[in-house]
Structure 1
Amino acid sequence: MNAPSLQPIAVTLGDPCGIGPEIIAKAFVQAPDSVRHCFVVGDAGVMQRCIDSLVAGGHLARAPVLRLIADPGEARHCPEGVMALYQVGDAVPELALGQVHALAGRLAGDCVAWAAQAALEGQVAAMVTAPLHKEALSAAGAPYDAFPGHTELLQHAAARHAGCDVADMPVRMMLANEELRTVLVSIHVSLRRAIEAVTYANVLQTLQIAHRALGRMLGRQPRIAVAGLNPHAGEGGLFGDEEQQVIAPAIEAARRQGMRIEGPFPGDTVFMKARQSAASADPVDAVVAMYHDQGLIPVKYLGVENGVNVTLGLPLVRTSPDHGTAFDIAGRGLADPSSLLAAIRMARQLS
């Protein structure tokens, strides 16, 4: 595992109409050691209004002092109790919480774009992204309406920085908590398109990306289990032949490249296998799942408060909480910062 970097970590605001500002404020107050050398990429007015509301409602023991910074390096010199913030663009007017606003989507997108560029240029060790709202991001218009979410936005930014096609910057989503890690072959697409994405090339590429990333994270060769696509992993072709025609050949190719890959296993048992192995001398380090819900439901069922989303394959470190904008509780002081703090801790470990 890498030694934690002393460079600052950028924490993006997320959608200002969701719980992003709230969990950031609570993290800075409740866990000052965890957020040391972190700074917020966002809007000072949004953060100050959120802090004031939380203090007035008795949801925050004290108010962190906002300090505007012009350079990420300044965050390393902020004492406990001070929240460093880099202002992105012009001040944003007060917006109704819990609602979709194009202006909120644009601010969230601008924060991610700025932090990504800072990470690609080496100004920050990592970026941790508070939740954005996909509908608001789309409502913001170009360029953000072309991206379903963080992952795709970051992929395009990294490819542009590298001067290559997006296809040459393959990325994958990994969701992790203390008990389970899962890596996805496809991300934010319809189920029909997700099934179409289960190709030999995509499965093998996912295994390669997961193997490299986990090897760097763990400091050893990882052991990876692969889920099948069909019920009972196809039952020998009775319920579909993707396991025989696509997934198993990709696994064999990965093995020939020296990877420790097992499967395909039925999707309804592989996660139990991985979880139960955690206490063994030879644990399954991750499960590769064929599509979004197959892989994320088991991890989220174990508790979103400790879940962390990691984007694999990028030339930067990006983590995020395992939850969305939670518009239904925005502004009520009920949001839990645990997943954000877990994302910050993992970002430190990876950077």
Structure 2
Amino acid sequence: MTQHPRARSTYTGVALVIGSALSLQFGAVFAYQLFPQLGSWGVTTLRLGVAALVLTLMVRPKVGQWSAEQWKAVALFGGSMALMNGTFYAAIERIPIGLAVTIEFLGPLVLAAALSRRGIDFLWLGIALLGMGVLGYESINNATDYDPLGVLFALIAGLGWALYVLAGAKVGQAVEGTGGLAVAMSFAAVFLLPLGAPGALKGVTDPHLLLLAIGTGLLASLIPYTLELMALRRLPRNTFSILLSLEPAVAAIAGFLLLGQVTGPVRWLAIALLIAASVGVTLSARKNPGPKEVQLGEVAPVTASLPMIEDATAQGSKPHRAEKG
């Protein structure tokens, strides 16, 4: 039986989000090795700069043809990326990565609630929120995990993450291909320079540290952000935001397997709830795509006031195709 194009689009979008989550956690393993030498801000600045350079050379964005509105969208995307990345790495320098990602997920969770129009979405949001609550309770009662400054950075990163989803959807609509992402990462690296310049300079002058930074840039920036931009072209923003609940689960598993960060039974229960929310929203999106869902290759427009998802084929919109690579 031939699958409906919207179903294929949903499954492709889910696969892209999962691939992004996996890549991000492997990139974090490289970053942990760099923290003692470069500091979290230096690592973030260097990895974004490396990723921006590689992607710019690959896609060669035609910035000379961009309008002022396109430049504004890309600059805002870069600003949200700088906020999200800088504070997240500052958080995982102080608290376990699984806890940091889970706290950070509050941003897209609140965004998903604001954007959702279907009752079933609130069920999955509720399950995800329950998982968050279980994990928060377990973490607060584990004194070794609870660094107030790390938690604060993770909360700020959550705000950056929500802005990243909105700004990324806007760039996906306004700028064809991945040229907008390349320039946005360049903006992000520049925005972080005041805090990260000393560490980044040290990384550039040490071949071993530079090699680790390149690995971090590819795995934690270039690959995941390219995959997420492609996913945002295939999924409504509320569905995309709920699917991001997979990231705390992947982060906790990666922290346990790759970094030896212990994950107890209560935390595994929270992870299971987050995975259930992601699976649920994927299946409900497939069964009930609705007339307003974003179709393959289309982009949900973004306006200033967190509106409900609108039809990407509405009058005046011009859907773009996602480029491979």
For normalisation by structure 2, the TM-score amounts to 0.26
Higher helix share: 2
Larger Cα-atom Rg = 1
For normalisation by structure 1, the TM-score amounts to 0.24
Higher strand share: 1
